[in-house]
Structure 1
């Protein structure tokens, strides 16, 4: 279970170290968005996938020579390259002005906010201070992301495991107001929903026919992209919820939000009020951005023993640094005198501490 944590996160985290970071990222993202509107859904979806697998730590960006990083998992293969390109270009722009100061995790969070605004959605403050993760394994992705056929129970449980409520889940599902999918993700609703009813009865019949034309039973083109919002696919608005009321949700996990009595009232409320949806969405995005964040405190706990070992070595064995060549006597420094035997003993202790610390760090990283 990945818990929500906002300790040490702050909207002004880079006020002294990189005060223009938001402007730098915004400009880089805007440039990419002008090249292709796919930038918006691709970046937003990537941020969601990153946060739901081990927390918002940019581990989804990691590339593996062996093909076993998070991005290589089956559920992440469909992440559009434009999302990665957006964050990479923003990172390069930030590094040019603030080298080594801003994490990829924070840049991704800012980029996710910026693409929403560029697509016509609401702006909101982004809390910063995340540290990038040290683990990126494809095996960690399994059952961490919502599939297109999940019901409300499955959705609620999955989001709750990340500290998010049903309202948060419904609001974040509204991100499907932009973006697209491919036929294999929803074809079961068109041709083999059940033994007695091949077409999902919760689909509007005319909409089902439209989908069948784009995705025929035989010979469907795997590259065909079907918009998640058939009316305003490139605009971040509340039309997605209006589509659900009209039984025109593309995924089962979309349409079920209206069909289930527990979530229906919220869907109707968002369909009737863009303001209500925007308010809930921005709140949910801020909560999503806190999921499983890595903080400076964790790094201090991981590397603290190593630093203490260094301090121990320097304080107790000054003779190593101030030994007089050709003599057995050691120069006095700071009130200490160190013999050759003591140097050997202290050196062995130092390396033993380093070894134990690194083993502990290794165990902590791979147990995460």
Structure 2
């Protein structure tokens, strides 16, 4: 039954994404708020920079948020909706989203924009802009963010649990999940490069370190030295939701190609990182970035992000512009 439920959700999302992308993405524009809310993008950039400059971990947090939002129902802000009495299982409560960081930044931006031009700038656009501005704040790549997204009204934890790629996934599953939303195998390996910044939670890799096959063993795909390093930082403590480890041990706060160096040396933190070595196209890309010191990574990342932020958007009379990002309008 669980498999059938996943397949049904998966098929519906594929259809939704294809129809939405074809019908509405042409209505996005780079100057969408030029007259309706002059200075909107400057406000987003200023507040994002304030938060990220004080807490750099908001940069990977916002980047992860936009990915998790776009993968489920498209880039329409459904991730931002809080649980309510009638729906206490929104995307925000889903397993892949309980460790997300950056909601406070989006809310601060929304509050400022509501004072500047009430009811004009959508939460979906705020998330798309702030995720880009967070990365440029830490001297990462930039990309164009066409605007005009509307906010969705439906948010289901079940969809997020089913559709967001898992850190335990193999390469075949990852390719299928990315293809379902119109992203290529190259987009998969390029966007995985976002793991060059930020931290992973130890509880996600506990089984990989201490009980990979159910016999108290360690994943043989991990470098022994790296496994020892991880075990020193991630103890086998049941229910430990606080301990973290950098995804890129070499340059954890720099947006560069060193993530690919980690993966090439069997030091990818998650099984989904290690899985990139099991496909010719993804492995070739990893080797290219390692051998050329990331000569094309920044450009490639910008291209893939530009594609991702257009997945299944709502525009025109589709959706709404929420007054608060955590709740649909009354």
Query: Taking CA–CA contacts closer than 8 Å with sequence separation of 6 or more, which of the two structures ends up with the larger relative contact order?
Result: 2
Partner of 2:327: none
1:75 Cα deviation after fit: 2.0
What is the aligned counterpart of 2:253 among 224, 234, 247? 234
Q: 1:103, 1:131 within 8 Å by CA — same for their partners in 2?
A: yes
The answer on 1:285 being equivalent to 2:305 is: yes
What is the aligned counterpart of 2:57 among 29, 38, 60? 38
Partner of 1:148: 167
The answer on 1:73 being equivalent to 2:73 is: no
1:151-201 deviation per Cα after TM superposition (whole angstroms, max 9, x unaligned): 111111001111100111111111111111112211222122236781222
The answer on 1:206 being equivalent to 2:225 is: yes
Residues 123, 182 of structure 1: CA spacing in aligned structure 2 closer, same or farther, 3 A cutoff? same
3-state SS, counterpart of residue 30 of structure 1: helix
* 2: CA distance, partners of 1:296 / 1:74: 32
Q: 2:202, 2:244 within 8 Å by CA — same for their partners in 1?
A: yes
1:250 Cα deviation after fit: 0.1
3-state SS, counterpart of residue 274 of structure 1: coil
Q: CA RMSD in A?
A: 2.0
1:221 Cα deviation after fit: 4.2
Unaligned runs of at least 5 residues, structure 1: 301-368
The answer on 1:157 being equivalent to 2:187 is: no
Residues 25, 195 of structure 1: CA spacing in aligned structure 2 closer, same or farther, 3 A cutoff? closer
Which structure has the larger Rg?
1
Residues 244, 17 of structure 1: CA spacing in aligned structure 2 closer, same or farther, 3 A cutoff? same
* 2: CA distance, partners of 1:279 / 1:113: 14
Q: 2:153, 2:319 within 8 Å by CA — same for their partners in 1?
A: no
Residues 225, 292 of structure 1: CA spacing in aligned structure 2 closer, same or farther, 3 A cutoff? same
* 2: CA distance, partners of 1:299 / 1:104: 11
Partner of 1:357: none
Residues 299, 199 of structure 1: CA spacing in aligned structure 2 closer, same or farther, 3 A cutoff? closer
1:47-71 deviation per Cα after TM superposition (whole angstroms, max 9, x unaligned): 1111111111111111122421110
What is the aligned counterpart of 2:318 among 292, 298, 302? 298
Q: 1:215, 1:221 within 8 Å by CA — same for their partners in 2?
A: no
1:72 Cα deviation after fit: 1.1
1:138 Cα deviation after fit: 1.6
* 1: CA distance, partners of 2:301 / 2:153: 29
1:117-172 deviation per Cα after TM superposition (whole angstroms, max 9, x unaligned): 11221111111110000111222213211111111111110011111001111111
Residues 234, 299 of structure 1: CA spacing in aligned structure 2 closer, same or farther, 3 A cutoff? closer
Partner of 2:244: 225
Unaligned runs of at least 5 residues, structure 2: 1-13, 321-330
Paired residues, what number? Answer: 299
TM-score by length of 2: 0.86
1:39 Cα deviation after fit: 0.8
Partner of 1:366: none
1:262 Cα deviation after fit: 3.6
TM-score by length of 1: 0.77
* 2: CA distance, partners of 1:36 / 1:299: 32
1:297 Cα deviation after fit: 4.5
Q: 1:183, 1:220 within 8 Å by CA — same for their partners in 2?
A: no
Partner of 2:83: 64
Aligned pairs for 1:1-368 within 5 A = 1=14, 2-3=17-18, 4-5=21-22, 6-66=25-85, 67-80=88-101, 83-194=102-213, 198-218=217-237, 221-271=240-290, 272-298=292-318
Residues 90, 195 of structure 1: CA spacing in aligned structure 2 closer, same or farther, 3 A cutoff? closer
